[in-house]
Amino acid sequence: MRNRFGVTAGIIFGAMVFLGNAFAADKLGYVDLSRIFSEYTKTKEYDKVLNDKQAAYEAERDKKVNEVKQLQDKMNLLNDKEKEAKKPALEDKIKALQDYDREKQTDLRKEQDEKMKELLKDIEAVVKQHAEKEGYTLIFNDRVLVYQSKALEITDKIIEALNKDYKK
């Protein structure tokens, strides 16, 4: 019985030493994903395009809101019978505004999601390429790490590679 315990303990200890050595030989790194996003030139360009679309949407929306307000102001000056006659027109304008609002918000959100997926694909491809070229076994996102040594950070290298590839 003692012999069996000794053999089992020896096997477990050997496996731990072997696995420990295997992981010690691995090259590890991490990236600051939010910094990569903010410093990637393509992100900045996409942000500008989306901000321009948002501004155009808001300008058009403000125009429609003003039309509704003007119609409401005019209706306040009318008698009850005239108000009832104009009420469907006001309701139609309000509904059109709500539909426009909903449609544009959905379109902007969808486009933002598509751009985000595209940016993530770019980042993942560059990280993978860098890992394979430099012999990394694992590269982590810094948000999942409780502690990390700055010596393992490769964010700057990834940003540089992304922006260099994007300029091509």
Residue 141, classed as helix, strand or coil, is strand
Q: What's the confidence (pLDDT) of residue 7?
A: 44
Give the start-to-end residue ranges of the domains of the chain.
2-167
Q: Burial, 84: exposed, middle or buried (Cβ in 10 Å; 0-12, 13-18, 19+)?
A: exposed
Q: pLDDT tens for residues 104-118?
A: 999 999 999 999 999
pLDDT at residue 137 greater than cutoff 60: yes
Domain 2-167 class?
alpha beta
Is it the case that residue 8 has pLDDT exceeding 60?
A: no
Q: Is the pTM of this model over 0.75?
A: no
- Write out pLDDT tens, residues 58-95: 999 999 999 999 988 888 888 888 888 888 988 999 99
Task: Return d(Cα 50, Cα 115) in angstroms, integer.
Answer: 10
Distance CA 66, CA 114 (A): 32
pLDDT score at 146: 85
Nearest to 160 by CA among 40, 45, 44, 30: 40
pLDDT of residue 74: 87
